[in-house]
Chain A
């Protein structure tokens, strides 16, 4: 079973690498054969050259760290607030009826639309980008925390109460751990949105960062340079997503770790 599983896995990885090579090769060939101008679509080889040059000169590296710091700080602040408020709502159901409607109303505002205001309030430095990122990372964690805290089976609560558990004990021993898998779903969404949040913030007004650099290079019609940044951005997103997943597997170990996967699932 497990031997067969790993064979399929290897075939899958092989296939997706082949697909990637075919795609990049086809792209390169198409650009050359049809002589597509570099300001429309750059050839993969040109993108690679831009990437290497940007890394060697340190330009990409400097701007990467700015954006990365905004993403991490905004994510931690937004997700932290989302989790904390979610827990408060879970503890005091009254809040859900009084405060939560306003939170939802805030969520329906497109963050892109309020980004210019935030830049005016917090300036062109990193702070405004961190705030924009935080407002975006906040909601998925909040909503999933609230749902997760409700996910405890009724019988579980009844059993604990039968053993004289207090409300607080039921919360700490059953509801909070039960909510963690949901919280991680929220964190995973939030980390990917955080990268978007930081870039949107930098588009609106910034002095550094990969989003700022995209605008600069766009202005100079350096398409290969822009594509090089997109590669860095998607690697950042994938890396952070994998990091959240790795932490999730350690924290909510009981979800699948121990079990064999369901056949056909």
Chain B
């Protein structure tokens, strides 16, 4: 299943999500969340911890049911997961009995495609995330950041047109993080994927995005969507440019006014 041809890929109208908890009291994780994402767009999401970012991403991925609201993907209502999506969770969640390569090939196995046909692409992705030489290692032999990078390669192996990434670089050091940012922008630029990426880092959100969705906590709602009009392709020097600083400062101020300073 592919995601259709309309220019607007994601269309979310008034999404609510209420969790029923063990204690019996309900937690409102998302309230009236509306936004859309154009095909080929790079959107980032920032917001304080617990404001519902992961919840939103899981609803988009079709693995968590929304309590109410309308959500379409390529014009079709979302009622389950799609083959054309690649996801990265906050935690790496690798299978410990599979090697790095076997973990990267998991979506291929699930979609019952021949591994042979995708092995080359998988190898290239493992190299891209800086893990060549580790193809046959097991997750227990990797650091947390390395495991997270395996998860990123896994999300790309079936060449999905939509990437949903939940703090994919959270476990990485600043240097690796910057190079992963550039790699992700390169892949996005070459393959015209649509990316929705959650991050705790405001500079990262600005650096990557066409638009930044700023969320406020309890109940999680969108408080602002900021257009980032920095030129593409982006380079690391831009981080020191004045327009970049203006965007970052605007988002920081926004958080401060909410009483929740983040990152």
A residues near B (Cβ < 8 Å) are 153, 155-156, 158-165, 169, 173-174, 177, 252-254, 258-259
User: Which segment of B82-90, B180-188, B236-244, B254-262 sits at the interface?
Assistant: B82-90
Count A-B pairs with CB separation below 8 Å.
58
Residues A259 and B93 in contact in the complex (CB < 8 Å), given A162-B85, A163-B107 = no
**B138 in contact (CB, < 8 A):** yes
> B95 and A162: CB pair below 8 A?
no
> A174 and B140: CB pair below 8 A?
no
Please give the number of chain B residues whose Cβ is less than 8 angstroms from any Cβ of chain A in the complex. 26
Main secondary structure of the interface of B (DSSP, over half): loop
Residues A177 and B95 in contact in the complex (CB < 8 Å), given A155-B89, A161-B81 = yes
Residues of B within 8 A of A173 (CB): 95, 106, 109-110
Residues of A within 8 A of B91 (CB): 155
Name the distance in Å between A172's Cβ and chain B's nearest Cβ.
Answer: 10
Cβ 8 A contact of A163, one of B81, B97, B140: B81
Cβ 8 A contact of B95, one of A161, A174, A252, A253: A174
Residues of B within 8 A of A156 (CB): 93, 95
> B93 and A155: CB pair below 8 A?
yes
> A169 and B89: CB pair below 8 A?
no
A159-B93, A162-B81, A164-B83 given. 19 additional CB < 8 A pairs? A153-B93, A155-B93, A156-B95, A158-B63, A161-B63, A161-B81, A163-B83, A163-B110, A163-B111, A163-B158, A165-B110, A173-B110, A174-B95, A177-B97, A252-B97, A253-B97, A254-B139, A254-B140, A259-B141
Residues of B within 8 A of A164 (CB): 81-83, 110-111
Per the bound structure, the CA–CA distance linking A173 and B83 in Å amounts to 18
**B126 in contact (CB, < 8 A):** no
Chain B residues 100-148 with CB under 8 Å of chain A are 106-107, 109-111, 138-141
Residues of B within 8 A of A158 (CB): 58, 63-64, 89
